[in-house]
Amino acid sequence: METKVIVGLGSCGIAAGAGKVYDKIEAIKKAEKLTFELKKTSCVGMCYREPLVEIIDDTGRYLYGEIDEERAIEVINKHVNQHSPVKDFVVQSDLFETEDNTFTDDQVKITLRNCGYIDPESIEEYEEKDGYRALRRIAGHGMSRLDVIQTMLESGLRGRGGGGFPTGLKWKFANNNKADEKYIICNADEGDPGAFMDRSVLEGDPHSVLEGMIIGAYAIEATGGVIYCRAEYPLAIKRLQIAIDQAREKGYLGKNILGIEGFNFDMYIKEGAGAFVCGEETALIASVEGQRGMPRKRPPFPAASGLWKKPTNINNVETFANVPWIILHGAAEYAKYGTEKSKGTKVFALAGKIKRSGLVEVPMGMSVKDVIFKLGGGIQDDKEFKAVQMGGPSGGCIPAHLSDTIVDYDSVNATGAIMGSGGMVVMDETTCMIDVAKFFLDFTQKESCGKCTFCRIGTKRMLEILTRITEGKGEEGDIERLEELSYQIKDNSLCGLGQTAPNPVLTTIKYFRDEYEAHIRDKKCTARVCTKLLTYTVHEENCTGCTVCAKNCPVNAISGGRKEIHHIDQDVCIKCGVCYTKCKFEAITLS
């Protein structure tokens, strides 16, 4: 066979320089008239090893990591031309063990089955990997709409956007409501800061989402489809558009699809304009209709009256990507994975202070600890694991002592966090939990649409309290005030944004109350993050009198001439930390 060289060109791969690597390899190929096949794929999930280049030859497959232009030349020269793989750069291979195997060994890839393996811009490659076969099976075997819904119910698939509502049930409701027009919407407005699963699926395997939507459209008799995608994901939008055009050309979209009489369905992409609240179903619908994206009261639920007042079904990207696999392999095969109430697999985006950040897909029921330490390789610089944030601004922090918690909807909810869309941001001893809570509150406060008083004003008041705590102006009773406000906001907000906004504060108070107390009573930040609570001093033994700190101090708080020991005037110091970062001799200490 002809040797294949495949470059991973997802957004993060490109950010790491994969585009330049691809161009370089293309140039070598042309200049030296080499005969290998050069291909593109998307995210493999090993973001921590980007840029990634895979070579498949007669002997097997080799995944090379951290390949810059220089290394690319070496790999092409040695592996492709001289048939001797450069083992030092291989991060994974089916021929021998590598340390990165622990990243992939325990993963089960259903949602991400094709990501990193196919060219996302080629419908033929998707079809080769059983693509659109689920849809063909429905058409060929005469599977009825209710059969499809029954299969989804039996599979136990729950909404992967965070809500966890059974997908089959949602489809059943939409199917029950009869109307001349119905809509199916894919929620690709992945707004949680710290989550990038949906982006990777859209960039890496857009057809799986399309096929899931088409099957959903069949099940609920939808006539139109909308993919509501963040404008911040230009590559995802581009690849989705290519996929839609290809699907239309091949007859997977259009009239009487695959010969199913009366099954007419088409879809288009709607670019979001940057509002987190549009992840909420009713706000998303308002946004598609061209209005301000504000949620409305339910009922009526979208299944009865949604887009343009017609029955509408909304599912998330990851949910749709699972659908074709379930139809093809059967509900029982999917339900084999997972726990009693949470079936199947879940994709997580690992980020923060973790050694191997990237995308993993694991069966529900794996412990948080295993995800972070076995797959994620543990904490950066071997620091101490403090907590993991799950569920973004709606979620909470799971502390280290609860890291045996398994990932399923109910177990994660019991800790006060939520499964959410699957972001896992890992924190270590250098992360201040009050700062984290403040960060999320700042986010929800800015993103609150302003409709409900408690959400609009309550989040603002909470943010003010948190800010003053981090500035050393915390007062006795602040913790109780935060709790009181939290419950008020949760109880009196219309939509998910407000109902969950206090979660990051409540979970950090629950598990890190002593840290709050240290900030309020002792004016101390043990993680050394809240700069206003720190004191910068010169460590006299290390000071060489180089004057760099004094020159850079914006308020001239540092005195001392050349080759003299310097001194910081605490009354003038504004605690900006410039001296600390500029000093090359570790002569500025923090306390």
Of 273, 414, 572, 590, the one binding other proteins (CB under 8 A) is 273
Q: CB count, 10 Å around CB of 56?
A: 19
Near other proteins by CB under 8 A, which window of 88-96, 161-169, 291-299, 323-331? 291-299
For other proteins, what does the binding mask look like between residues 397 and 436, x meaning CB under 8 A?
--------------------------x-x-x---x----x
Exposed/middle/buried for 301, CB within 10 Å: 0-12, 13-18, 19+?
Answer: middle
Residue 156 Cα distances to 201, 319, 326, 332, 417, angstroms:
21, 12, 10, 9, 22
Near other proteins by CB under 8 A, which window of 81-89, 129-137, 194-202, 370-378? 194-202
Helix axes 206-220, 197-204, angle to 10 degrees: 100
Half-sphere exposure at residue 578, Cβ-oriented, CA atoms within 13 angstroms: 16
Applying CB under 8 A, does 453 fall inside the site for other proteins? no
Near other proteins by CB under 8 A, which window of 63-71, 243-251, 258-266, 268-276? 268-276
Applying CB under 8 A, does 23 fall inside the site for other proteins? no
Of 5, 6, 14, 505, the one binding other proteins (CB under 8 A) is 14
> Considering only residues 354-373, where is the footprint of other proteins by CB under 8 A?
357-358
Applying CB under 8 A, does 317 fall inside the site for other proteins? no
Near other proteins by CB under 8 A, which window of 205-213, 227-235, 485-493, 518-526? 227-235
Amino acid at 250: K
Question: ∠137-142-146 over CA atoms, to 5°?
Answer: 100
> Considering only residues 171-190, where is the footprint of other proteins by CB under 8 A?
190
Q: Are 274 and 241 in contact (CB under 8 A)?
A: no
Task: State whether residue 233 is helix, strand or coil.
Answer: coil
Of 308, 341, 410, 477, the one binding other proteins (CB under 8 A) is 308
User: Is the Cβ of residue 132 or residue 276 nearer to other proteins in the bound state?
Assistant: 276
C-alpha to C-alpha distance for 503 and 501, rounded to whole angstroms: 6
> Considering only residues 482-501, where is the footprint of other proteins by CB under 8 A?
none
Amino acid at 396: G
Of 353, 490, 519, 566, the one binding other proteins (CB under 8 A) is 353
CB of 391 to other proteins, least distance (A): 11
Residue listed under structure tokens 């609570």? 533
User: Is the Cβ of residue 315 or residue 357 nearer to other proteins in the bound state?
Assistant: 357
CB of 498 to other proteins, least distance (A): 11
Q: Which pair of structure tokens corresponds to residue 110? A: 């259903």
> Which are the contacts of 178, defined by CB distance < 8 A and separation ≥ 6?
none
CB of 383 to other proteins, least distance (A): 12
Q: Are 534 and 525 in contact (CB under 8 A)?
A: yes
Residue listed under structure tokens 């590559």? 235
C-alpha to C-alpha distance for 156 and 553, rounded to whole angstroms: 60
C-alpha to C-alpha distance for 497 and 270, rounded to whole angstroms: 22
CB of 277 to other proteins, least distance (A): 8
Of 155, 322, 389, 421, the one binding other proteins (CB under 8 A) is 389
Task: State whether residue 424 is helix, strand or coil.
Answer: strand
Near other proteins by CB under 8 A, which window of 70-78, 101-109, 439-447, 562-570? 439-447
Helix axes 167-176, 145-155, angle to 10 degrees: 150
User: Is the Cβ of residue 211 or residue 428 nearer to other proteins in the bound state?
Assistant: 428
CB of 50 to other proteins, least distance (A): 8
Applying CB under 8 A, does 191 fall inside the site for other proteins? yes
Q: CB count, 10 Å around CB of 210?
A: 29
Q: Which pair of structure tokens corresponds to residue 271? A: 């670019």
Applying CB under 8 A, does 580 fall inside the site for other proteins? no
For other proteins, what does the binding mask look like between residues 560 and 579, x meaning CB under 8 A?
----------------x---
Near other proteins by CB under 8 A, which window of 11-19, 109-117, 338-346, 469-477? 11-19
Applying CB under 8 A, does 321 fall inside the site for other proteins? no
Q: What is the DSSP string of 522-572?
A: I---TTS--GGG--EEE-TTT-----HHHHH-TT--EE--TTS--EE-TTT
Applying CB under 8 A, does 51 fall inside the site for other proteins? no
Near other proteins by CB under 8 A, which window of 44-52, 310-318, 479-487, 508-516? 44-52
For other proteins, what does the binding mask look like between residues 232 and 251, x meaning CB under 8 A?
xxx-----------------
C-alpha to C-alpha distance for 90 and 96, rounded to whole angstroms: 10
Q: Which pair of structure tokens corresponds to residue 104? A: 């992939």
- Nearest Cα to 145, choosing from 182, 187, 186? 182
Residues that bind other proteins (CB under 8 A): 11-12, 14-16, 47-48, 50, 190-196, 199, 231-234, 270-271, 273-276, 287-293, 308, 349-353, 357-358, 389, 392, 423, 425, 427, 431, 436, 439-440, 443, 445-450, 456, 459-460, 576, 581
